[in-house]
Amino acid sequence: MSNTTAPKRFPMAWFYLALLVAYPLLVYPENALFRLTEISIGMQLTYIFIYAILALGLNVVVGYTGLLHLGIAAFFGIGAYITGILTVPAYPFQVGFIAALVLSTAGAALLGVLLGAPTLRLRGDYLAIVTLGFGEVTRFTLRNLEEITAGTRGLNPVPPPQLPGVLATPLSWLGIQPDWSLDYRLFYYLALGLLVLVVVLLTNLERSRLGRAWVAIREDELAATCMGINAARVKLSAFALGCGLAGMAGCLYATTLTSTAGPDAFDFNRSIIMLCCIILGGLGSLRGTLLGVVLLIGFDNVAAPVLDGLIQGANINPNGNPLLTFSNWKLLIFGVALIVMMRFRPEGLLPSRVVEEELVGYAPQPRGKLLRAR
Amino acid sequence: MAILKLDKLTVRFGGLTAVEGVDCAVAEKQIFSIIGPNGAGKTTVFNAITGIYEPTSGAITFEGRALERPLTWRVLAMCALVGMLTGLTAAALSVDVNALWRATIKRNYAGPGESFSSRAAVADGWSYLQGSLALDHLRGDRWAVRTADGRRTLGYAASLDEASQLRDRFNRLIALAVTPDAVREQGSKWVVVDPDSDAELASFDSAEDAQAVMDKYAAIAREPAARRRMALATLVLGIAVGAAGTWTVWHRARRTPEVISRAGIARTFQNIRLFQNMTVLENVLTGMDRHLHGGVIRMALQLPGIRRQEQKARDRAAELLEFVGLAGKATMLAKNLPYGDQRRLEIARALATSPRLVLLDEPAAGMNPAESLELNGLIKRLREQGLTVMLIEHHMKVVMGISDHIAVLEYGVKIGEGTPEQVRANPRVIAAYLGSEEVS
């Protein structure tokens, strides 16, 4: 039961959250090791938060409901482009950040439903092919609608959100400059706040009727329908929610990057990396998904550049030998790690509570406690 | 009064007849068993009742009515709505979105800080769709007359009045371009004259020049009609496909397991189909799905109403687990339960849907004598709770011990029916089970 194990787990979650909240306040300006590599760990953490929202969305579709979705990057891109079109100064709409966030989420969810409604009766591989195809179609559509999306250049500049005046004083106490382009910490807290919100809402959903229906469909669709569950509706809700979260992540991404990036930022590779994140962490597990994102995206965006910088800084590689550049080994290490994982821990690093329970064995609970646990 | 009635139920798969012409009437609060040798079509009967298979012919009535999703005005409205949406989407796809964007947004918005009138944008979008000519304000109070998509510039003017006069002239020219013999020779010139006002609209130096320009205008003139035809065709096709598709999907889902379950029939499976990676309690709670309410947002926020409802469901699930004898195992994963317990959990999950009729498919399979005795007690208690039980079973001890009524199937055909005593004495049943005596 989630409830009985929750008290045990929660202090750790609070501890990590406190660490993440405190990090930019304690380590600023970021120390010399990281400066050397010209990347800001804080900024990269912001992107990790954004990808975490994307991965959590994908986890709803693939992890809980068991629908293999290979086109999540398309919805990420749709969110980014909706935000771009609605906010860039080249177009007359220029709505605020909150409106863009809501519309991106709703727009991506709506497109998810439109894609899902006719295709969710497909099973397994066939659905995977359809979503993969949709991802590519979206990418080429974004590229070919040149008048609207500026083709391969992407839309920019996406303006930062308006800071509410109420926040000015508390921010100055914390030593944060109220300017989005000067201080990464504003984006950092924005992304972290949204991520925490998403995690809380998903945790609640996971324990609700809908969460159970998702898992039941994954476990045995026929038995689930025989229990009176409307499979089409439940699958559609998972699709809408997953794609909506991807759209939300896309909105944050475009705002943080101040550009929608080109259509190629939302290609098949992005979908696969996100899929790897949730498989590495543990399908259907919130904690696992977060860990998978931290490991994979962190490796890609933080560890690799830092190691490159260190090698360069230590002057080990004066002739620019490609074999001595860490980034060139990145994908090899990534691949080997995945293979090793699949061999020794196929259920992921932090499998969902049920799988975990199976591994640990079960502890019988007295009935009264079980019922009071919430 | 019969709660469930099978009337000449026949199920065929291709050329193979699994069940043929089976008639049954299950009375309320009865324990009704279906027995027969392997491959007699017993499970197929269950699958037909619970909507997994569509009967080839024959009728199944539960509490006096056929279990089908009723055809309501909402279904028709849904068909119409989806049809309209598909049609509009298809029609939108026949429009050049890039050009439309240029005509509406880019024409009306010069850049940051400039004003933007959404009414003008909509008007421009409409005139683009109609293919009419547009006036563009250029720098230095110059005006251009362009086609609505902005691709072709026909002429320039120094003021708005002049520009609109120019536009009128081009409109006349474009209208005339499709009529034959619009160009006339007049002296050394070739001219186009408005037949209504006799005004000269254009003059050219050579017949070739005239032909080339008039061809261009003719192309512009033909564009809107072609576009309209295309949009109309896609609209109609889209509506037809959308509405027909929705209707087909609805019609095929008229008799799905979900509909049957909601009507009050629950079942267990011969090859246990629990949700293996869910806990015992969650399995039962999943069965209660249709009794729980609340939208996604209320669930995501765990509002107090949802919590109370969830708490009630948990209490009820715990009761059900106690009823089938699984108290204290609520937190175990379903797949870690021993075999007999898995069967009991399936019964609990079926009961969670609050059915009036329970179909049990070989509940005693794989149980030892002590366990199957316990199961007998459980099934009897189900009847005491006011449920009707339909049973497929091979254990004759179970069947003969608890059944009120037994039907015997062989090769998909009902060969005997009656009380346990009648069935036991029926020579055809004995022949089916033991083989008939050789008569020489």
Three-class SS of chain B: CEEEEEEEEEEEECCEEEEEEEEEEEECCCEEEEECCCCCCHHHHHHHHCCCCCCCEEEEEECCEECCCCCCHHHHHHHHHHHHHHHHHHHHHCCCHHHHHHHHHHHHCCCCCCCCCHHHHHHHHHHHHHCCCEEEEECCCEEEEECCCCCCEEEEECCHHHHHHHHHHHHHHHHHHCCCCCEEEECCEEEEECCCCCCEEEEECCHHHHHHHHHHHHHHHHHHHHHHHHHHHHHHHHHHHHHHHHHHHHHHCCCCHHHHHHHCEEECCCCCCCCCCCEHHHHHHHHCHHHCCCCHHHHHHCCHHHHHHHHHHHHHHHHHHHHHCCCCCCCCEHHHCCHHHHHHHHHHHHHHCCCCEEEEECCCCCCCHHHHHHHHHHHHHHHHCCCEEEEECCCHHHHHHHCCEEEEEECCEEEEEECHHHHHHCHHHHHHHHCCCCCC
- Residues of A whose CB is below 8 A from B286: 212-213, 216, 224, 227, 229
| Number of A–B residue contacts, CB under 8 Å | 164
Is B91 found in the same domain as B228? yes
Mutate to test the interface with A, among B302, B312, B360 (most CBs of A within 10 A): B302
Beta bridge partners of residue B407, listed in sequence order: B34, B417
Q: Are the C-beta atoms of residues B407 and B414 closer than 8 Å to each other?
A: yes
Residue B222 and residue B285 in one domain? no
Split at pLDDT 50, 70, 90, the class of A359 is very low
Q: How confident is residue B296, by pLDDT bands cut at 50, 70 and 90?
A: confident
Average model confidence (pLDDT) across chain A = 84
**A-chain residues within 8 Å CB-CB of B262?**
228
Say if A373 is an interface residue toward chain B (CB within 8 Å): no
Per-residue pLDDT at A38: 59
**Residues B268, B407 within the same domain:** yes
B376: closest CA among B400, B351, B345? B400
Cα distances from A283 to residues A72, A219, A345, B113, B214, in angstroms, run: 16, 13, 12, 49, 66
pLDDT tens for each residue of B303-351: 888 899 999 999 999 999 999 999 888 888 898 899 889 999 999 999 9
* Closest CA in chain A for residue B311: A371
Largest Cα span, chain B: 121
Q: Average pLDDT for residues A283-307, to the nearest whole number?
A: 89
A321 to chain B, any CB pair closer than 8 A? The answer is: no
pTM of the predicted protein model: 0.88
How far lies A309's CA from each of A184, A319, A323, A334, B10, in Å?
A: 21, 15, 15, 19, 75
Strands B405-410, B31-35: pairing is parallel
Can you tell me the distance from the alpha carbon of B135 to that of B156, in angstroms, rounded to the nearest whole number?
A: 9
Kindly determine whether residue B289 and residue A219, on different chains, have CB atoms separated by under 8 Å: no
Instruction: Quickly name the fold that domain A2-372 has.
Output: ABC transporter involved in vitamin B12 uptake, BtuC (1.10.3470)
Name chain A contacts of B302, Cβ cutoff 8 Å: 204, 208
- Domain end: B190, B219, B241, which one? B241
Q: Which residues of B touch A363 (CB under 8 A)?
A: 331
Residues of A in contact with B276 (CB under 8 A): 219-220
Pairing state of beta strands B189-193 and B200-204?
antiparallel
CB atoms < 10 A from the CB of B249, how many? 15
Number of domains in chain B: 2
Picking from A92, A145, A358, the nearest residue to B333 by CB comes out as: A358
Record: contact B266-A226, CB cut-off 8 A: yes
User: CB of B323 within 8 Å of any CB in chain A?
Assistant: no
**Residue pLDDT, tens place only, B11-57:** 999 888 899 999 999 999 999 999 988 888 899 999 999 999 989 99
Q: Is there a contact between B286 and A118 if contact means CB atoms under 8 Å apart?
A: no
Q: Examine the domain organization and report whether B91 and B65 are in the same domain.
A: no
Most confident of A41-55, A173-187, B104-118: A41-55
A356 vs A243, higher pLDDT: A243
Q: Do residues B115 and B56 share a domain?
A: no
Distances (CA, A) of A83 to A76, B23, B92, B277: 11, 63, 22, 39
CB spacing of A147 vs B99 below 8 angstroms:
yes
Compute the distance between CA of residue B112 and CA of residue B299 in angstroms, rounded to an integer: 43
Lowest mean pLDDT among A275-289, B169-183, B355-369: B169-183
pLDDT at residue number A3: 41
Dihedral-angle region of residue A171 (phi above 0 means left; psi in -120 to 50 means alpha; beta otherwise): alpha
CA distance B183 to B204: 9
- Which of B216, B241, B266 is where one domain is finished? B241
Place of tokens 């949700």: B275
Question: Is the pLDDT at B244 greater than 90, yes or no?
Answer: yes
B142 has a pLDDT exceeding 90: no
Residue A368: per-residue pLDDT: 40
Give the model's pLDDT for residue B168. 86
Please compute the mean of the pLDDT values over residues B374-382 and round it to a whole number.
91
B247 within a domain of the structure (yes/no): no
- Residues of chain B with Cβ-Cβ distance to A213 below 8 Å are 286, 289
| B200 and B260 belong to one structural domain | no
B258–A225: do the CB atoms touch at under 8 Å? yes
Q: How confident is the model at residue B401 (pLDDT cuts 50, 70, 90)?
A: confident
The chain B residue lying nearest A143, using CA atoms, is B98
Measured between CB atoms, which of A1, A146, A223 is closest to B281? A1
User: What ipTM was estimated for this complex?
Assistant: 0.86
B277: chain A residues, CB-CB within 8 Å: 215, 219, 354-355, 358
Residue A224 touches chain B, beta carbons under 8 Å: yes
Q: Is B335 on the interface with A (CB under 8 A)?
A: yes
Give mean pLDDT, residues A155-162: 89
> Do B104 and B193 share a domain, yes or no?
yes
**Of B290, B301, B331, Cβ closest to residue A1:** B331
Those residues whose C-beta lies under 8 Å from the C-beta of residue A164, and which sit 6 or more positions away, are none
Q: What is the pLDDT of residue B2?
A: 87
Top-confidence range, A32-41, A297-306, A316-325: A297-306
Q: Tell me what pLDDT residue A98 has.
A: 94
Residue B200 near residue B191, CB atoms below 8 Å:
yes
Least confident of A158-162, B16-20, B72-76, B179-183: B179-183
pLDDT of amino acid A30: 55
Residue A361: which pLDDT band, with cuts at 50, 70 and 90? very low
Q: What is the CA radius of gyration of chain A?
A: 22
Cβ pair A241:B112 closer than 8 A: no
Strongest mean pLDDT among A335-339, A359-363, B351-355: B351-355
CA dist A323 and A216 (Å) reads 49
Q: Is some CB atom of chain A closer than 8 A to the CB atom of B98? A: yes
Q: What is the mean pLDDT of residues A297-313?
A: 84
Contact call for A370 and B286, based on CB within 8 A:
no
A9 pLDDT exceeds 80? no
What confidence score (pLDDT) does residue B92 get?
84
- Which of chain A's residues have a Cβ under 8 Å away from the Cβ of B261? 225-228
Q: What part of A 111-150 touches B (C-beta under 8 Å)?
A: 118, 145-148
Q: What is the pLDDT of residue B235?
A: 93
Which residue did the predictor score with more confidence, B143 or A135? A135
What confidence tens digit (pLDDT) does each residue in A90-127 have? Answer: 888 889 899 999 999 999 999 999 898 888 888 778 99
Q: For A139-166, what is the mean pLDDT? A: 89
Chain A residue numbers with beta carbons less than 8 Å from the beta carbon of B307 are: 374
Mutation target vs B (from A2, A113, A209, A360; most B CBs, 10 A cutoff): A209
- Do residue B56 and residue B101 come from a single domain? no
B97 at the A interface (CB within 8 A)? yes
- In the stretch 86-105 of chain A, residues with CB closer than 8 A to chain B read 89-92
Residues A228, B50: C-beta atoms closer than 8 Å: no
Same domain for B195 and B277?
no
pLDDT of B143 above 80: yes
Contacts of A371 in chain B (CB under 8 A): 311, 314-315, 318
How far is B1 from chain A, CA to nearest CA, in Å? 26
Report the residue of chain A nearest B250, measured CA to CA.
A232
Q: What is the pLDDT of residue B14?
A: 86
With beta carbons under 8 A apart, name residues in chain A contacting B108.
Answer: 92
Model pLDDT, residue A140: 94
Report chain B residues whose CB lies below 8 A from the CB of A229.
258, 286, 289-290
Share of chain B above pLDDT 90, in %: 40
Contact criterion met (CB below 8 Å) for B44 and B24: no
The answer to whether A209 contacts B311, with C-beta atoms less than 8 Å apart, is no
**Does residue A35 surpass a pLDDT of 60?**
no
CA distance B145 to B402: 92
Which band of pLDDT confidence, cut at 50, 70 and 90, is reported for residue B189? Answer: confident
Q: Is A6 in the B-facing interface, judged by CB distances under 8 Å? A: no
A204 with B257: Cβ contact below 8 A: no
Tell whether B249 is covered by a domain: no
Which residue in the set A148, A216, A367 is minimally distant from B286, CB to CB?
A216
* Average pLDDT of span B5-16: 91
- Burial (CB count <10 Å: 0-12, 13-18, 19+), residue B187: exposed
Q: Average of pLDDT values for B294-307?
A: 86
What is the pLDDT at residue A6?
Answer: 42
Contacts of B258 in chain A (CB under 8 A): 225-226, 228-231
User: Are residues B393 and B259 part of one domain?
Assistant: yes
Q: Closest residue of A to B53, CA-based?
A: A222
The last residue of one of the domains, among B241, B263, B289, is B241
More confident residue, A312 or B28: B28
User: In this structure, are B85 and B222 located in the same domain?
Assistant: yes
- Within 225-254 of B, beta carbons closer than 8 Å to A belong to 245, 253
Say whether B352 and A227 touch across the interface (CB within 8 A): yes
Angle at CA of residue A285, ends A284 and A290, nearest 5°: 125
Å between B368 CA and nearest CA of chain A: 25
Within a domain: B10:
yes
Q: Which domain holds residue B137?
A: 76-241
Q: Are B432 and B37 in contact (CB under 8 A)?
A: yes
Percent of chain B at pLDDT above 70?
99
User: How many angstroms separate the CA of residue A140 from the nearest CA in chain B?
Assistant: 14
Per-residue confidence (pLDDT) for residue A364, from 0 to 100: 41
Residues of B in contact with A204 (CB under 8 A): 299-302
Least CB-CB distance to B279: which of A1, A148, A222?
A1
Look at residue B248 and tell me if it is in a domain: no
Same domain, B90 and B189: yes
- Put simply, whether A225 touches B (Cβ < 8 Å) is yes
